[in-house]
Structure 1
């Protein structure tokens, strides 16, 4: 886990975070994340995805690559 945030993020917040980062995400990552959210993920999974997406646009390229891998693992 990236952070120990105590907040539970509702699915709507995760969707809006995903939309806000869409321009910065590889298309494949965006698509699999949308499909993943349609499958009713657990709260733990929602929180994890939210944190991977948070400030994605501000992350270094190296950090984005790391997050991409983590997102793909999470949503498989």
Structure 2
């Protein structure tokens, strides 16, 4: 899903924090580490969209997003 908005590191950190009760603990930690590692703009945008409305998506969608977040933060 392409987006025309470039999300800042701060935007992504806020989004991660707002979804922290819903994202699995390991993924939350790996995401925090990932954000400290100077991610590219493309990676920031992808992470933001994977976290966006995470709490509202179906369990199947969460599993799919978890896989993508895991791949992104490796």
Q: TM-score, normalised by structure 2?
A: 0.99
Instruction: Give the number of equivalent residue pairs.
Output: 74
Could you say which residue in structure 2 is the equivalent of 1:13? Answer: 11
Please, which of 28, 31, 52 is the counterpart of residue 30 of structure 1? 28
Displacement of 1:4: 1.2
Structure 1: 5+ residue stretches without partners: none
Could you say which residue in structure 1 is the equivalent of 2:60? Answer: 62
CA distance in 1, matches of 2:29, 2:58: 22
Displacement of 1:70: 0.3
CA distance in 1, matches of 2:65, 2:14: 18
SS at the partner of 1:24? coil
Could you say which residue in structure 1 is the equivalent of 2:39? Answer: 41
Displacement of 1:40: 0.6
